[in-house]
Structure 1
Amino acid sequence: MFAGFDYGSSNCAVGVMDQGAVKLLPLWGEQRFAPSTLYAADRGLICESVAHNIESDACREAYVQQRAAAIQRASQIRRNLNIGEQDNILFVGEEAIDNYINFPEEGYFVKSPKSFLGVSGLRQEQIAFFEDIVTAMMQSIKRQAETSLQKSITQTVIGRPVNFQGSGGEKSNQQAIEILTTAAQRAGYQQVEFLYEPLAAGIDFETNMQQDQVVLVVDIGGGTTDCSVVRMGPSHRIKANREDDFLGHSGQRVGGNDLDIHLSYKAFMPLLGLGSSLKSGLVMPSEPYWNAVRTNDVNAQMEFSSRANVELLAQLCRDASNPALVKRLLDLQQHKTNHQLVRCGEQSKIELSDSLEISKALGFIEQGLTQPVTRALFAEAIQGPLNRISALMKEAVTQAQCSPDLVYVTGGTAKSPVIRDAIQQQLGEIPIMDGDHFGSVTAGLTKWAEKLFG
């Protein structure tokens, strides 16, 4: 059985063909989109979960040999934490978020691991750790999809961005693809192919096109933005190879997560002392605040959780004109609730698609604490990443050396009126079409899987 697998930065989804149409499979209850999150009782237990859930005897044996020392440490961690053999140690999707919110200090939580896969300079042990995180997630999602389908899935097409990382070039892309391939194989996929995500979104759109046109596909996902100029239409969709139709493309690691981070910094960090003054009259340093919200940056998170940062924040509390504000940042670090703060930024972004102003409760920081957030503030906060997205659209069109007939916009972030206005300003009078903001990539991957494996 084949399937399209959107292993996204924000959400994951699996699609299959059902009587000639794409069907997105329920993964948890009736939920077809699973947040790209993982929570483990301890990060050292992730490899044990991976080993336990590898179906192939040969693959499991090879994995256990490679991770022998880590698996042995996992057994010791179980004993130290008094975790029984039958106890759940790992959760994915909404279950991961629920466990993180309930037990932020007791486990290991990661959101959008796909954002880290192309990071330059990763050591081999770091690559192995990301392989384990992605494998554990893929195993869980595949298991849920097969339960819904009541069939095994052995072949898949997985979406990939044009570029996984803003820097690092093809070396970063290769590193990320190798991690994803290894994880997919350990999850039980016997055949794995990849397709550019904007092209996948375009394939879904192309199904209903009545005439050939040049389309600019703008896919603003959680971790990356990809723009592709593609020839599409009835005479193109029958082709098995679409390389000649791919006229220009650009992509960078800038997406919905970056908007959440910038909004969280602008809207919420003043409540934690950002912009306040020290007793000396100097302004509070901004770096600890940026490190707190940059949840998609490995180095920033290591710095924020470091002992040196704890000492810095304690000193800033002593030096601050208003120490109670900075104490909130220290508490955020101590209780590991910075992911929850950025989640509030994400929720605010979504709510501001339908409202000009919302009020966000921040009771996990301090009981009764709330903060108003306006669409105007959101637009101001995200100007930096928005300029980068606009530059990517311009770059793709420049590469194509022709003007598109229409623009097809997809990706959950693209629902925001602020984003839509920026796209319209960049492209002038070119018509803009909306796709299924969440399901179009999965649908395109599934249709391509049918072409390859059907």
Structure 2
Amino acid sequence: MSQACGVDFGTSNSTVGWHRADQPALLTLEQDKVTLPSVVFFNAEDDEISYGRAALANYLAGYEGRLMRSMKSLLGTSLIDGQTEVLGKSVPFRGLLGQFIGELKKRGERAACQSFDCAVFGRPVHFVDDNSKADQLAQDTLEEIAHAAGFKEVQFQFEPIAAAFDYESRISQEELVLIADIGGGTSDFSLVRLAPERSHLLDRRNDILGNGGVHIGGTDFDKYLSLTHIMPLLGLGGRLASQIEVPSSYYFNLATWHTINLVYTQKVWRELQDVYRDIQSSDVRQRFERLLNLVEDRDGHWLAIKSEEAKILLSDQESIQLSLERLRSKQPSAPCSLMLDQDGLQQSIAHLSSDIGRAVSQVLQTAGVRPEQVDTVFFTGGSSGVRSLRQQIAAIVPDARKVEGDLFGSIGAGLGLDAARRFA
């Protein structure tokens, strides 16, 4: 058994991989689940901290407090060196990330009944697009945070390469594989030559023909789904008496996980009241009242969860009826709901899909590989379930076999394998 683990600290979900012969590749982190949603809830009523599904459940149950999610998105931004208010105290963002990674470590060790001093952490191909210095700083920051959380030795592996190692453990012959890892915060692609007889090698640089990616992922799909279809129910696109549009910044902040709390300040609340007084249309006033009530009730995270829920449901269904029961106005009306379908989802994320498709084509071009030479596309990452996006990627390499890995576990499993090889 390896004395080292692999840590997939994800934007939306996290896993811990541990390689043991004939044993599951992932450790259980919450009840019987191997994934831990990357969520922290600071309960102001009970002065407690909860993580993962428990954190979401406590928040949705209506407990007073602060919900933090998509914390990985802070890496590579100026916000990582800032602070935020949690239960009346100013807390550094670095400390919040360290707290969650420390919880991952503790839960992994409890499941393994042993300590882990060494770890291979997954990282996106690009924390920051087109800025190598900022990208390296983001990795260095994550390494510092991991050390502070208790890991003595930390190494890194590209997340799609880790997924490739997991896939390689299950094939019987050599394949040229395009790893498509669509996660919560990034979309990463690697073109890798895999073969069972090469899986034991520590140095696989010659087998990596190309890699690339963009800083676009599932939280961006959620954001633009919300802005296109949900936020108009709260007044986005409506006009003031002067015929200029209602300011969009409030809606963009509400649709972005790590900026939702910016809408809850007293300054913004006064601005919203001023905007409301300047709306003449009864229809726009009614929709804007929903926004006022949402902000007053601090239900922004609930709304973001509903947008994510819609995206997930549309991965399997042609159309859905999304219940938005917490949206209310002064006028008595039926509970608010929204009909969404595949075309609506595609409409809202079309510009993101195009950027992702270009990234795939760029990887092939840089590697000097023709589309027909690719044997397999291996899909991993929770957001690779978005149907239209998967179809777009598959169309770039139409002759390749399409294989779906463990959407939430392939990276963690591969990191566990990599950790066993590196720290053996």
TM beyond 0.5: yes
2:81–2:92 contact (8 Å) kept in structure 1: no
Which position in structure 1 is the counterpart of 2:273? 314
Q: Which of 95, 109, 114 is the matching residue for 1:146?
A: 109
Which position in structure 1 is the counterpart of 2:219? 257
- Asked whether 1:26 is paired with 2:35, we answer no
Which position in structure 2 is the counterpart of 1:45? none
2:323–2:337 contact (8 Å) kept in structure 1: yes
Which position in structure 2 is the counterpart of 1:49? none
Which position in structure 1 is the counterpart of 2:50? 91
Q: Which of 319, 324, 332 is the matching residue for 1:362?
A: 324
Which position in structure 2 is the counterpart of 1:187? 149
1:156–1:189 contact (8 Å) kept in structure 2: yes
Q: Which moved more, 1:322-331 or 1:194-203?
A: 322-331
Q: How far is 1:33 from its partner? A: 0.8
Q: How far is 1:443 from its partner? A: 0.9
Alpha-carbon spacing, 1:174–1:301, altered in 2? closer, same or farther (3 Å): farther
Which position in structure 1 is the counterpart of 2:178? 216
Matching of residues 402-413 of structure 1 within 5 Å: 402-403=369-370, 404-413=374-383
Q: Which moved more, 1:178-187 or 1:90-99?
A: 178-187
1:131–1:182 contact (8 Å) kept in structure 2: no
Give distance in 1, aligned partners of 2:315 and 2:267. Answer: 39
Alpha-carbon spacing, 1:23–1:424, altered in 2? closer, same or farther (3 Å): closer
Matching of residues 281-296 of structure 1 within 5 Å: 281-296=243-258
Which position in structure 1 is the counterpart of 2:60? 101
- Asked whether 1:422 is paired with 2:380, we answer no
Q: Which of 263, 268, 277 is the matching residue for 2:230?
A: 268
Amino acid paired to 1:138: I
Q: Aligned to 1:99, what secondary structure does the other structure show?
A: helix
Q: Which moved more, 1:189-198 or 1:208-217?
A: 208-217
Q: Which of 12, 15, 23 is the matching residue for 2:14?
A: 12
Q: Aligned to 1:23, what secondary structure does the other structure show?
A: coil
Which position in structure 1 is the counterpart of 2:350? 383
Q: Percent identity?
A: 31
Structure 2 length normalisation: TM-score?
0.89
**CA RMSD of superposed structures (Å):** 2.3
What is the CA deviation profile of residues 111-149 of structure 1, one whole-angstrom value per residue up to 9, with x for unaligned ones? 1100111114754668x8222111111222222222222
Give distance in 2, aligned partners of 1:293 and 1:421. Answer: 26
Q: Which moved more, 1:343-352 or 1:366-375?
A: 366-375
- Asked whether 1:35 is paired with 2:37, we answer yes
Give distance in 2, aligned partners of 1:20 and 1:331. Answer: 54
Which position in structure 2 is the counterpart of 1:112? 70
1:158–1:194 contact (8 Å) kept in structure 2: yes
Which position in structure 1 is the counterpart of 2:364? 397
1:4–1:442 contact (8 Å) kept in structure 2: yes
Q: Aligned to 2:157, what secondary structure does the other structure show?
A: strand
2:80–2:93 contact (8 Å) kept in structure 1: no
Structure 2 unpaired stretches of 5+: 85-90, 329-333
Which position in structure 1 is the counterpart of 2:192? 230
Q: How far is 1:438 from its partner? A: 1.2
Which position in structure 2 is the counterpart of 1:156? 119
Which position in structure 2 is the counterpart of 1:325? 287
What is the CA deviation profile of residues 315-372 of structure 1, one whole-angstrom value per residue up to 9, with x for unaligned ones? 2212221312112112222332222111111111111122111111212223822211
Give distance in 1, aligned partners of 2:20 and 2:186. Answer: 30
Q: Which moved more, 1:435-444 or 1:425-434?
A: 425-434
Q: How far is 1:264 from its partner? A: 1.3
2:314–2:386 contact (8 Å) kept in structure 1: yes
- Asked whether 1:279 is paired with 2:246, we answer no
2:74–2:80 contact (8 Å) kept in structure 1: no
1:316–1:326 contact (8 Å) kept in structure 2: no
Alpha-carbon spacing, 1:38–1:270, altered in 2? closer, same or farther (3 Å): same
Structure 1 unpaired stretches of 5+: 43-82
Alpha-carbon spacing, 1:24–1:121, altered in 2? closer, same or farther (3 Å): closer
Q: Aligned to 1:382, what secondary structure does the other structure show?
A: helix
Give distance in 2, aligned partners of 1:193 and 1:99. Answer: 34
**Equivalences, count:** 406
Structure 1 length normalisation: TM-score?
0.83
Q: Aligned to 1:363, what secondary structure does the other structure show?
A: coil
2:377–2:394 contact (8 Å) kept in structure 1: no
Amino acid paired to 2:196: P
Q: How far is 1:41 from its partner? A: 4.0
1:4–1:446 contact (8 Å) kept in structure 2: yes
Give distance in 2, aligned partners of 1:2 and 1:337. Answer: 40
Alpha-carbon spacing, 1:352–1:143, altered in 2? closer, same or farther (3 Å): same
Q: Which moved more, 1:150-159 or 1:190-199?
A: 150-159
Give distance in 1, aligned partners of 2:409 and 2:94. Answer: 25
